[in-house]
């Protein structure tokens, strides 16, 4: 993901609203290096080790974005990503054919609303319907209706898989323009790779020769944790806007700077941990930070809010 890292670094070097605190970064790296860290991909997902697991994960990551608008959508006691993964797992287990590309291509609002039934309505429901319809159509046209064929086409390369996703599925084309320069994030495309790796234990459809190339998944939870740790700092004006829960427009300088600093901060954390003899890959650091964000002490301040299909 060189172009992701390179473009993120360029934004960091030219940013005016967001900055990195290298002392805080090194301090957090030292703390992480002293902790007993282990990573077990969780048990809330479909994991039958077949092509259906690949299809399920593909659908999850097609829809893995924007859970924050109030009142929060909840499903079986969960909110956010955990609610989504649980709802889709339940749908698979009761026989809803999410593994059928034709079913996805004909998805309508009422059907998806029923699949994601819960407290309140999930945000951007119409956009989610559109994304699933496109996903089903492209899978039928290009990949024999199977996300597993998409993964196989990538030849065990996360770089190639991300390229295919961004090329063929518009909702995975997570790019922005910052001061005339194109910036690449590919959050959902990269997280699909990591989900495959986790679900299949690095074997089969989860085996990638270049898994180390994944960057952080720039969303709204990880930068929030980085801010709480003092690693990412916002200008007074931006901090005030975020703390007042003011929505940041997608593609604005502030939003792009937050996401770029997320990617670069995790890259620097990775380098520091290597120096300390506790090497972690970027996606593992991302998992670590995301898990921290689920703790109550990291929920005391708001995260940035952007209405987008990309995260």
Catalytic (active-site) positions: 219
Mapped onto helix, strand or coil, the DSSP state of residue 18 is: strand
Q: Give the E-state strand segments of 80-131 in sequence order.
A: none
Q: Which residues make Cβ contacts (< 8 Å) with residue 204, sequence separation at least 6?
A: 49
Q: Which residues make Cβ contacts (< 8 Å) with residue 46, sequence separation at least 6?
A: 52, 53, 56, 57, 88, 89, 92, 93
**Phi and psi for 183 in degrees, rounded to 5?**
-120, 140
Q: Which residues make Cβ contacts (< 8 Å) with residue 70, sequence separation at least 6?
A: none
* Two structure tokens written together for 270: 């990775």
According to DSSP, the residues that pair with 233 across neighbouring strands are: 19
C-beta of residue 18 within 8 angstroms of C-beta of residue 261: yes
Checking DSSP bridges between strand 18-20 and strand 232-234, what pairing results, if any? antiparallel
* Two structure tokens written together for 251: 């593609």
Q: Which residues make Cβ contacts (< 8 Å) with residue 45, sequence separation at least 6?
A: 53, 56, 57, 60, 85, 89, 195, 199
User: Which of the 8 DSSP states describes residue 220?
Assistant: S
Identify the CA nearest to 115 among candidates 139, 95, 136.
Answer: 95
């Amino acid at each position: 993901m060189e172009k992701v890292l390179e473009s993120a670094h360029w934004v960091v070097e030219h940013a005016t609203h967001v900055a990195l605190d290298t002392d805080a970064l090194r301090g957090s790296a030292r703390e992480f290096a002293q902790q007993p860290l282990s990573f077990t991909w969780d048990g809330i997902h479909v994991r039958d080790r077949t092509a259906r697991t690949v299809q399920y994960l593909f659908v999850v990551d097609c829809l893995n974005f924007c859970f924050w608008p109030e009142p929060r959508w909840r499903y079986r006691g969960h909110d956010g990503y955990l609610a989504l993964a649980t709802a889709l797992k339940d749908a698979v287990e009761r026989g809803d054919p999410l593994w059928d590309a034709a079913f996805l291509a004909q998805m309508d609002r009422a059907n998806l609303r029923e699949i994601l039934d819960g407290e309140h309505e999930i945000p951007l429901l119409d956009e989610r319907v559109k994304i699933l319809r496109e996903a089903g159509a492209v899978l039928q046209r290009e990949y024999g209706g199977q996300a597993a064929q998409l993964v196989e086409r990538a030849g065990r390369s996360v770089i190639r898989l991300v390229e295919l996703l961004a090329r063929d599925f518009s909702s995975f084309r997570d790019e922005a323009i910052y001061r005339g320069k194109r910036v690449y994030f590919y959050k959902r495309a990269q997280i699909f790779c990591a989900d495959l790796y986790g679900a299949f234990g690095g074997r089969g459809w989860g085996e990638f020769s270049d898994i180390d190339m994944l960057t952080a998944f720039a969303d709204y939870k990880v930068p929030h944790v980085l801010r709480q740790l003092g690693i990412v700092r916002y200008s007074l004006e931006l901090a005030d806007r975020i703390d007042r829960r003011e929505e940041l427009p997608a593609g604005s300088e502030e939003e792009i700077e937050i996401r770029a600093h997320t990617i670069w901060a995790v890259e620097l954390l990775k380098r520091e941990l290597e120096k300390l003899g506790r090497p972690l890959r970027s996606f593992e650091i991302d998992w670590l930070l995301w898990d921290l964000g689920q703790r109550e002490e990291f929920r005391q301040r708001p995260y940035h809010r952007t209405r987008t299909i990309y995260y």
